[in-house]
Structure 1
């Protein structure tokens, strides 16, 4: 029998019980021996008198083993003791030296475990409180930015309206003043015309008098000088000069105009501090949510546990007509599912293998998803269109993605939102649409402005709204929270990790296919590795598509064959 490869060895280490020749899945962990155990080997381990003080816990609650570090003074000994007085890690032989005589010592592994638990707790606080709260505050600021822009634009509009109103009043008053000058001018000119007529009449009179005097002065009529009375000239009529009006100007300055138009000012009040929700309130809310989830689970008939079954059992397997492989699997209503292959065949079948519907598409990986209301959403990367198939088999265009080519899609079981992975040029993003097709959110970069995704194949969503993507370009599972904040990236357990199909279950586990070592990784909701689902003996080759039904059955589709296998992996 040939030696296992590094990848198979890594898989064996994490999958099976640590007892020699035992191939069962590990569920427990001995903190004293640092050995994974199945249920049966745990019971055997406890029976030994030598192990009566050994602490055995569920695997996910295991105590992390102290990293090996050699003592510099005693190279054959490991450092595993902590001197309280000297506050120094030591090996067992150092503790017997004279300089540590009478000192008290602690087990360094216990200290390390406590520290590790503390760091894990602090990490959890960052993920569950500090990051979401900070993101909420950032969102609050973004809303304030929108509000400030809206208010300032409203103020500018009011300013322009006020200035326009003042301009209109100025034009109106100016028009009235100009009209008044015309009236005054007309009155003054009339008066001057009257004076001009007066002098015209007087001049006529003087010419008449001049003629009379000339007649009196003629030689022939000298006798007349003594006959008539003496002529008397009337005085020149008096007139008054007009008083021209004077324009009294008002010397306005900038302050006068400011008083007329108003001025923008910030209210002289203390700014309100942003409300930061205390960690206790968040913890209380989380506990309340967990309690509701627990109550919901108790009402269902499902038996849910965080432990793997002692063995992975196949519950059914059936062929899917019309496909050459099972690239991707979407569960429809009970008793039906959709399966697609690498040739663009998309087939709906029942659990007896009867073909119900077949569509020729433009191919893809995780490019279809079943919705809660019984529709199927699938994408056409070439046409850049998202289609919807209703239960009565009607196909209609649902969303046009514009310049972005859609790659994979997932319908949220939480609220019905549609999550779509899209690319354009060298860029990739996740766009969230409402179930009505309205664009809600775009996720593309992390807080440092770096691209989150490189070659995403499949997308899904966790019970808390985390968006999980298998990214072949990054050889990782990339997970962000519902706000788009990067939570973690999982890069596998061996030297190679080729992630493909991905799904989650009702407990928040993340399950992802790994084509490098032909298995499915089981992760907790924070990206912690729990186990491999399959061992090489179970004959899974090139797993591509996975999904989980309401009864915790795992559906696995393989690249090279048109069968979908169903397994029970939880107990």
Structure 2
């Protein structure tokens, strides 16, 4: 059925502005555009666009024939059976009573997913595999130099001992050669496995392109993504090179004095948890800091006090304030959605999952909750304090990791202990509380963020410090402010990180943001007339969103 503005009597109009005649079509986004809107459309660099003249757009989809009714085409989709069906099967056949939808909608969704998979394979996963192979080749070249040094050391020892130790020298060189052979064998095996995966990736990419070009509904409908399989990168082989120790020459104790060759140590190290998907890019472009950051948008949230902000996109943010309501707002301060906490109490922390769903913590209720389709699901309920023996914990800050896990800061009911817990779904995977000497890492951990290098960055309220540990929980550094003149002491609250591995923390009393590098070195302040900056988040384009507690406004700031 034709839409009113697409009837034969009317001029076909641009889908974007809906006023000018259309002239072009973007195959990637399936949108018709006028001349003016084409330029604006191409400015969106979040995907690769394919704009062609409208008359050259793809033809009508190739509907499959129905097996039960050969004269019918399958123009409908059975959601229960996840199959294309014809109208007769849907009304009178074996699919009668099932949930039936327009196949165009299903085709559009499937095609979109397929294109995303193809783009991820081509632009992120495949190049990362090539990079790993290149790293192994470099390591193999360096291996020759390092093993050569070992061989030279053995030769020098042998010359000093002359003929008396010739046999020992030859034995040592034989051991080195054997270790080298084993080392190379392990690296070659690793290379072969990666090369095999690359061959599979190439074939999958070719298959996906063929499916897209065929426009065959059957192939698209039955397509199953394997991207998740390849996001888990191949393990990196880690070898501890042997060393040759030596003692002073003594004819009577030649064997002992010649020293010993340490054994070849080969370990396999997983590269993180899993390759980052979608927004996570293997090698981000270098973005220098601006000398003068600028505010590009201001959002009025309507709270009396504003405590947190979390990005859904460049245009939408979730916010939390001094009541039990969490609000989804756009850059024009328009309220898109509001959610009340299940307990009716103020949320402790908020974050957005990879799927765009909201997560919030409830300290008093001791729960971590997921908001999906406006429905609240309690995914984690912590043990409540019930006696002098049992120590209860309450969740505060929360963030999503690159692998899709949740990191949550927790404080004990008696206020004496603090820790960070990693959850995969509702399963606890890791608990970080003490350093190598058994001393507490945190006094009162609150806001939290994961850096691009997988470091865990936490604001410790009681000691006014940013505490950073690596992925395994080992302390890397503490930041307690820059030794510049300030009217007030350093008071960190919100924290976030960007694509450059910068760490940004809000200095509440001094009304500014501190920017650190990944090793904790101070780089610069952001001022922008901030008043009581509290919560922070960064979108996929490295725009900084600052929740001002005092004004209850969110400021969007460009600083890179």
TM-score normalized with structure 1 length: 0.46
By percentage of residues, which structure has more helix? 1
Higher Cα Rg, which structure: 1
Higher relative contact order (CA 8 A, sep 6+): 1
TM-score normalized with structure 2 length: 0.47
